[in-house]
Amino acid sequence: QSEIVIGKVVPYFIISLGLIIGTILLGHFHFSVKFHQPLLVSVICTLFLLFSLGLGLFISAISRTQTQAIQLSIFFLLPMLLLSGAFSPLELLPGAVQAFAQLFPLTHFCHAFRLVNMYDAHLRFILVDLLCLAVGALLTCGGAAYLLRTADD
């Protein structure tokens, strides 16, 4: 049932890529934001997008109803936003919370994106974040595909 996975992921992926490109262009041309290493930024954004779409697809695959899917999404979304380091530095949180925050794709995205855009960091400084995003994307998309396949059998 890979057709179902592809059919669910591809439209959202294309729309989200368009939004990312639009945001980057708006930031660059209207607000004069300089993006260091645009190719590396694109890789970071793409991996984050795939992980996030995979997580949504996985939640969809384990949910029985739309209401349950929404509740599970909020259950993941709120801690992910608060513990990702997007709004406050992770270093200020207790060690156990910092370790828990490493499970979220937004944590790795924020870290890698910040290092590249603020400090012009090279690949070796964000390789762990990229690997976490890639593994997460593979696990969530693969897990969702497996669950959807076994649900039809």
CA distance to 19, 30, 34, 94, 133, per residue, from 27 (Å): 12, 6, 8, 34, 24
The answer to whether 135 touches 105, Cβ cutoff 8 Å, is no
pLDDT score of 149: 78
Cα–Cα distance for residue pair 59/61, rounded to 1 Å? 5
Residue 36 pLDDT grade (very low, low, confident, very high; cuts 50, 70, 90): confident
The answer to whether 20 touches 49, Cβ cutoff 8 Å, is yes
Q: Over the chain, what is the mean pLDDT?
A: 90
The answer to whether 132 touches 107, Cβ cutoff 8 Å, is no
pLDDT score of 144: 86
Burial of 108-134, coded b for 16+ CB within 10 Å and e otherwise, reads bbbbbbebbbeeebeeeebeebbebbb
Classified as helix, coil or strand, 145 is: helix
- Over residues 147-153, mean pLDDT: 73
**Model-level pTM?**
0.88
- Over residues 64-88, mean pLDDT: 91
Percent of the chain residues topping a pLDDT of 90:
63
More confident of the two residues 148 and 105: 105
Cβ-Cβ contacts under 8 Å for 33 (sequence gap 6 or more): 27
Residue 140 reports pLDDT greater than 70? yes
Residue 153 reports pLDDT greater than 70? no
- Over residues 19-48, mean pLDDT: 91
